[in-house]
Amino acid sequence: MRSYPLLADVHRVGTRTDQKDRARGVVSVYVLTTLLLARHGETDWNRDHRWQGHTGPPLNQTGRQQAVDLAREIDAIDAVYSSDAERAYETALILAERHGLRVVTDARFREVNFGHWEGLTRAQINRRFGRAFTKWLSGEARRPDGGEADEEMAERVFAALAHIFDQHPKERVLVVTSGGQFAPWRRTCWESTKHELVIRSRRFPTARSSNS
């Protein structure tokens, strides 16, 4: 199973009923907007298991090829958005080229800010910050040292998604970001939007299994 990039389909759905359906208690579901969420390709820091967050290097050769391979899987999109992180933007450019689309960057799609941990491995974080990574992974600590909490990341991400839904009704939109956001997005969709979003996913990591 490939680790990079990841791809998921997200549908914003609505409901409608006609008079006959209401009499029978039937509700029809229809798609308003479809999002394709893609993870950026591999970087040297991914390869070396270093946490990236808001920083990090561009794609390496493997990552560029992964983006080229993923581009072949994506059909019929109307717009492409990306985090402004270099690794995500470079991936988005490769994916957009096949469709003749420009890439719109939005800083709200950035990975969690890992603060002082960025550029370090798990072992280095634990040594320098008193087992901070282990505490964060278990939920004992809410945020990385000098960074942001998952809930703060989710708040800005969903503001960006709301903008896309408003700007692209009934369209298919590709969003390229980091893997750490996928599982929180899926969980928060179900908990906070009362089934306005439906996600069909493949190759999802857990929230803490990725070094972004």
How many other C-beta atoms can be found within 10 angstroms of the C-beta atom of residue 89? 17
- Cβ contacts of 30 within 8 Å, gap of 6 or more: 13, 14, 15, 16
Q: Tell the residue number behind the tokens 């209401």, with chain if given.
A: 22
- What phi, psi does 198 have (nearest 5°)? -125, 130
DSSP 29: E
The Cα–Cα gap between 109 and 16 comes to 31
Instruction: Find the helix or strand (DSSP H, E) in which 51 lies.
Output: none
How many other C-beta atoms can be found within 10 angstroms of the C-beta atom of residue 122? 16
Rg for the chain (alpha carbons), in Å? 18
How far is CA 187 from each of CA 55, 68, 73, 86, 197, rounded to the nearest angstrom? 25, 29, 25, 27, 11
What positions carry a catalytic annotation? 40, 111
CA angle 60, 75, 56 (to 5 degrees): 20
Asked if 10 and 195 count as a contact pair (C-beta separation under 8 A), the reply is no
